[in-house]
Structure 1
Amino acid sequence: MIPSTQQINFQVGDHGTVSGLVQSPPDPFACYVFAHGAGAGMGHSFMGAVSEGLAARGIATLRYQFPSMELGKKRPDPPPVAHAAVRAAVAQAVQRFGALPLFAGGKSFGGRMTSQAQALDPLPGVKGLVFVGFPLHPAGTPSTVRAEHLAEVRVPMLFVQGTRDELADLASIRNVVSKLGASATLMEIAEADHAFHVLRRSGRSDEEVLAEILDGMTAWMRG
């Protein structure tokens, strides 16, 4: 099964045009709208590996640039601009994969901006959110303030979190997910950090960790 990849461009309200990549197997069973983190765009190797791995498992992806990343700026967009980008990307996915179950989320910042957008006004067609390393707090300062809006999200959520993630203290993210109840699922990736790297002493490779992540995401979306 060879996935096809298509480069697209779309408008984000009054914030300009951004680029995206649509990657799909011949007969996908779902689509994931996949936003990048604050420090690297949609072309980052991790974003590509996740998209390729999901395509191999039957899931199409639409990854895209936030406007600031498209312009090469170092500072991420303010939330209203990021939310507009999320909505525009979801609209593109609906246009291309409207008959499929649609999920949205992203890596770190991209996941948090997606959840904020969903909490403010449900994203049309989106049946669930998948966070690949939800950034719960700045490094070294555990807090759950960034999770308060999640109580307003009315679709199922999957949190894929490394147990050594410096941006999501394990006890804190467990507490957040527990309080969200049955709508939220926590998938803990043992010994992984925020970038999902593992130490050699863990006895596992980054490739094995990625396969665990992809298998878990796929099973959850099928469920």
Structure 2
Amino acid sequence: MSVIDVLAYSLICIICIFQEEIKIPFAKKLLDAVLSVPKAHSGVLYGVILTHGAGGDMNFAHLVSLASHLASHGLLCLRFTCKGLNLVYRTKAYNAVVLYIKSLDDYNIGGIFLLGRSMGSRAAASVMRATCEDDDDAVQGLICLSYPLHPPNAKGKLQDEDILQITKPMLFISGSMDEMCDEALLMRTIGKMKAPVQIHWIENANHGMSAKGKTADDVMTEINEQTLSWIQDILKL
């Protein structure tokens, strides 16, 4: 994308959505979050919850770009920060956000998609597994950005305990050179999964989605378009 394209896209997002900084109760704390809402939000909305990896926060560039893109196409987006490094803690925080978005009386939310990046995708997967086991129809699907299938240099230690039990649609967006998600191992794991799964590889991208021969804007555009297309396909929009 050229500078002019980026400015034009930013202007479209500003016109089409409004954003609100909010606090979400969790245990004895408040989670920082941002709600991105389409300005024309009459009728049924679908919500997307987004969270970050082990480092950073909800202002990670890919999440900001993705939330703006999805909201500008009619999806309510809620991105939040939880910096705990314990997966159980992160999962509980994610659950609190799911309960919060379900409680929003100002919007007629018809369904929710869970999305996380890296460790955030593991927390989202844990929540998704529970919703499948509980037959929670509110949650429509799961999007995993840079899912950490294994630690770096430890391909024998698969982190697949939750994704193998999920039965609802899943989208993986991973770099083909991701040091925490070997391509062959992910394909083998998908072969064992119960859920309908789609995967999109960002060519030559690492775990942080830096790709040789592509600008950061190129990668974000690819992620945004793939995610929106998959959600629209699931919802038959």
TM-score by length of 1: 0.86
Q: Which runs of 5+ in 1 are unaligned?
A: 70-75
How far is 1:15 from its partner? 4.4
Q: Tell which deviates more after alignment, 115-124 or 47-56.
A: 115-124
The answer to whether the Cα contact below 8 Å between 1:7 and 1:19 also exists between their aligned partners in 2 is yes
**1:178-203 per-position Cα deviation (integer Å, ceiling 9, x unaligned):** 22255111111111111211113xxx
Out of 53, 77, 82, the residue aligned to residue 37 of structure 1 is: 53
**Is the contact between residue 30 and residue 221 of structure 1 (CA under 8 Å) also seen in structure 2?**
no
Partners of 2:115 and 2:32 in 1: how far apart?
17
How big is the shift at 1:172? 0.8
1:78 to 82, 86, 91: 86
Do the aligned residues in 1 keep the contact of 2:91 with 2:124 (CA within 8 Å)?
A: yes
Aligned to 2:3: none
Counterpart amino acid of 1:47?
Answer: L
Deviations 1:103-150 (A, max 9, x none): 002111111011112224548411100011101111122246211321
- Give 1:93's match in structure 2, choosing from 98, 101, 114: 101
Aligned to 1:188: 201
Give the 3-state SS of the residue equivalent to 1:146 in structure 2. Answer: coil
Once residues 153 and 222 of structure 1 are traced to their aligned partners in structure 2, the CA distance between those partners, rounded to angstroms, is 20
Q: What residue number does 1:114 align with?
A: 124
Aligned-partner SS, 2:167: coil
Q: How does 1:99-138 map to 2 (within 5 A)?
A: 99-122=109-132, 124=136, 125-138=138-151
Structure 2: which amino acid aligns with 1:188? W
Which amino acid is the alignment partner of residue 128 of structure 1?
G
Runs of 5+ consecutive residues of structure 2 not aligned to the other structure: 1-14
Cα distance in structure 1, aligned partners of 2:63 and 2:52:
7
Aligned match of 1:11: 25
- 1:22–1:209: structure 2 CA closer, same or farther, 3 Å change rule? same
Note if contact 2:21-2:34 (Cα within 8 Å) is conserved in structure 1: yes
What's the TM-score, normalizing by structure 2?
Answer: 0.81
Q: Aligned to 1:168, what secondary structure does the other structure show? A: coil
Distance in structure 1 (CA, Å) of the matches to 2:157 and 2:108: 34
Per-residue CA distance 1:41-81 (angstroms, 9 max, x = gap): 11222321221222233322101121xx2xxxxxx342332
Distance 1:186 1:63 in 2: 22
RMSD between superposed Cα atoms in Å = 2.0
Query: What's the % identity of the aligned pairs?
Result: 22
User: What's the counterpart of residue 72 of structure 1?
Assistant: none
Give the drift of 1:151.
2.1
Q: Residues 144 and 176 of structure 1 are in contact (CA less than 8 Å); yes or no, is this contact kept in structure 2?
A: no
Q: Once the 2 structures are TM-superposed, how far is the Cα of residue 98 of structure 1 from its aligned partner?
A: 4.9
